[in-house]
Chain A
Amino acid sequence: MKPAFEPGGKLSKLRSVFEGFESFLYVPNATSKSGTHIHDSIDSKRTMFWVILAVIPAMLFGMFNTGYQHYLVTTAVMPGFWQIFFWGVLAVLPYIIVSYATGLIIEFAVAQMKGEEIHEGFLVSGILIPLIVPIGVPLWMVCIATAFAVIFAKEIFGGTGFNILNVALTTRVFLFFAYPTKMSGDQTWISLRDYFSYGTAQPAIDGFTGATPLGQAASQLGTDGALQLTNALGQPLTWWDAFLGLIPGSIGETSTLFILLGGLFLLATGVASWKIVVSTFAGGAIMTLILNAFAGGDAYLSLPFWWQWCLGGFAFGAFFMATDPVTAARTEKGKWIYGLLVGMIAIFFRVCNPAYPEGMMLAILLMNIFAKLIDYCVVQSNIKMRAKRAANVVNASK
């Protein structure tokens, strides 16, 4: 079967696709031609796959929560677990399919054009994208945004490993600025649809509020007293609700608990940098404490940091977005600084700029751009040390 795909063969236009699947099924038995004769059995496929594994708990919970939020406002009596979950699967699965299909078609085409192997990078972006968009975003928007991000954030820079911005977040930021009405507000976080007669398109109650806790908080900036956060039915939310994730929000980002499950797995296997995660949470806490100090009686400014950690995309961003090794700082010292700033800027944007109820996305993208500068500064100290040493030798010999 292979010869048909070789250059000159009938199916040579699909060569990189064939090779992609072949190396997926069987470990390529190419052997080393220079340098070390033996290699570690880790490769980029395994690394990427481990990230996907780590996202799965958040994804499954996201499916459940999508169903839960739907039934919360459409029926008076909550149906059983499996019905909720199944409705969520029906609602979320199309996003995953659209994201993967769009991205992979572009990746395959580019790989074929460049005559390279297919790179695995998009396997991760493809699962992250559906988890960071609201359920109300139409599929065609996801498709356009994904194509934009893959082409303009990644491929024009040279593909996986060369991108400056995180691809999944670029998708989100494109949606955010191109279609703002679908990315924020009260209407987009809870899906009112029926899939094959599952679910109902009519809310059971009038005037439900579909705003996320962060949206509600932003509107209370400047008011005194305790922050009033409610679910869609207007019942008050506790910290445990936010931690478990039964709140409106982007599909996969609501449950800190399930993000933690996958995220700790990622840290334990060494795929993501624990330094970035720890420093991001620390940065978030520090900025929150600073804001607390200046809060006076303000409802939002005095929100404690353990709340801030569990709201919006903070935890998801810290574990799965900020840790993208390509776009994060690459030096060990740099990782501490990078994470700290991601956390601080995220909370700062979130609280101090009511136009953007969530700051995590912009904070990470901003720090993606500054990551190289951080590394540069860290490495400069090494360069200066060496230059100084060389200068001493020259002086001594004079």
Chain B
Amino acid sequence: MAKQINIKKGLNISLQGEAVRETVVASVASLYAVTPTDFHGLTPKVVVREGDAVQAGTPLVIDKYLPEINFVSPVSGTVKSVVRGEKRKLLNVIVEADGKNTFVEFPVRDPKNMSADEVKESLLQSGLWPFIKRRPYDVIAHPAHAPKAIYIKGFDTAPLAPDYAFCLKGMGKEIQTAVDAIGKLTSGKVYLSVPAKDAAKELLDVNGVELCTVSGPHPAGNLGVIINHTDPINKGETVWCVNALDLVFIGRFFLTGKVDFTAPVAVTGPMVITPAYYRCKRGICLSALFEGNVYKEQPLRYINGNALTGTQVQKDGFLDFYSSQVTVLHEGTNVDELLGWVMPRFNMFSTSRTYFLSGLLRKLNPAKKYDADTRILGGERALIMSGEYDKVFPMDIYPERLLRACLVKDLEEMEALGIYEVVPEDFALCEYVCTSKIEVQKAIRESLDLLKSENGDE
């Protein structure tokens, strides 16, 4: 029995550079890395030395406070360097691939016949555990917790997001196996979100989940919206979240005994010459995807993830552990726009009706795609306009009130207004439309961190 969720509030931002759904180019690089900053709140501890030989699946880093959580090498080779930044902060553990592609062999087991503890143990050992994230706080799940439900993200509505139906083609067996495994971890329900149109067939066929069919604009694909519409999180409760694209790795692990992070990655954005899907491993050095594939006349911004919630990365950085998408925009630092704030700006996307000519053109040509740069396009101000956030925030929460509570660090008010139900990505559109250019996601993130430490949550 599928649950129908109809989202009205939200916004689809149509950018140029959608990955073409036909080609999957295999990509390899000589360098791969585990990047501890991909995992928010992690205190990493390196467990290998430079020069050590590793296989795909060998732990490189562990969580200092929960040492059972492993972060493993995506490839076989030798540890090339352990890169540290200011205050010896661990930035990357880089592995030079040997091209042999050997794997640590784990036992092949059917999760249906495993206990919850055995599944946990397998996922922790194999370095697949970090794919399970936890709400509240948006951090890696704590193995000792009992989540009241698990949510699987079965589609993505963010700008230029990868098409799950395309990425998951032929992966039905892997998905089902992973769902069997994940299902062991909760006594509650496992929810799977799918779009009302063009859902991945592999997801619709999965057994053991409660399907949530969602229609509407972005953020319809965000799990926060689904949770809010199905079983909102109360204080003290925990919900785990997994991305269906990552389930493939988990399923593959139980089916083959190998940790293989190979999956299609959408290389997108207006500054990419041929936006397409590249088949590669998580942790790959991004120059393999970008070299010769970006317009170089202008300063560029490379993003792990999408333009709303992704993180900025150097051109020779590494693919995010959670990312099935990279986006390239032009930075915009070299743009001098004379009196831009009063111009009609036909080629820039805006939700504001003050750009009525531009809006009219969009009505006439709904398929129009926009270029975008990373300029903030205005100075930061106190909150002036009201009701802007409400239009893009399809949850039973007052986003502006919650943001104000976060900005002044009023913990009680945050709890009363539903901070446990949100993660920074839920506020991405609010930040996008904000006339006052407030760093909304940052404020939410800092508040969640503060609450986590105040609550003494591990």
Contacts and interface: CB of A to CB of B under 8 A. Distances in A.
Interface in A31-52: 31-47, 49-50
Contacts, number: 205
Contact of B441 (A34, A45, A50, A332): A34
A40 B354 contact: no
A373 to B, nearest CB: 14
A23 interface: yes
Given A36-B308, A269-B353, A389-B232, A26 B376 contact: no
B85 interface: no
Interface stretch (A89-97, A229-237, A305-313, A380-388): A380-388
Contacts of B329: 37-38
B397 A332 contact: no
Interface residues of B, number: 76
Contact of A390 (B234, B348, B382, B383): B234
Contact of B384 (A25, A326, A393): A326
Contact of B339 (A25, A42, A44): A25
B232 A46 contact: no
B381 A379 contact: no
Q: SS class of chain B's interface: helix, strand, loop or mixed?
A: loop
A39 to B, nearest CB: 5
A147 B167 CA distance: 63
Contacts of A43: 341, 377-379, 435, 437
Interface string B309-331: 11010000000000000010101
A29 B351 contact: no
B1 interface: no
B101 interface: no
Interface stretch (A153-161, A193-201, A203-211, A362-370): A153-161
Contacts of A69: none
Q: Which of B374, B379, B433 has the most CB of A within 10 A?
A: B379
A41 B377 contact: yes
Contacts of A36: 307-309, 428, 431-432, 441
Contacts of B373: 31, 38
A28 B372 CA distance: 15
Interface residues of A, number: 58
B339 A29 contact: no
A76 interface: no
A162 interface: yes
Contact of A269 (B337, B356, B372): B356
Contact of B341 (A27, A30, A40, A330): A27
A47 B397 contact: no
A328 B401 CA distance: 15
A29 B382 contact: no
B418 interface: yes
B345 interface: yes
A35 B382 contact: no
Nearest to A380: B416
B387 A332 contact: yes
Given A35-B441, A37-B307, A385-B396, A160 B381 contact: yes
Contacts of A26: 336-340
A151 interface: no
B449 interface: no
B354 A387 contact: no
B163 to A, nearest CB: 21
Given A35-B431, A36-B441, A38-B374, A273 B336 contact: no
B352 A46 contact: yes
Contact of A325 (B236, B350, B372, B386): B386
A50 B354 contact: yes
B307 A27 contact: no
B381 A330 contact: no
B354 A47 contact: yes
Contacts of A386: 232, 234, 416-418
A115 B375 CA distance: 22
Interface string B117-132: 0000000000000000
A158 B408 CA distance: 14
B341 A160 contact: no
Nearest to A20: B379
B235 interface: yes
Contact of A41 (B159, B232, B331, B348): B348
23 contacts: A25-B338, A27-B341, A29-B332, A30-B376, A31-B301, A35-B424, A35-B440, A38-B13, A38-B15, A38-B307, A41-B350, A42-B351, A42-B354, A43-B437, A49-B342, A161-B383, A269-B354, A270-B353, A271-B354, A330-B386, A335-B386, A379-B398, A390-B236
Q: Which 8 interchain pairs have the tightest Cβ spacing? A: A43-B378, A161-B382, A27-B340, A42-B352, A330-B386, A35-B441, A270-B353, A390-B234
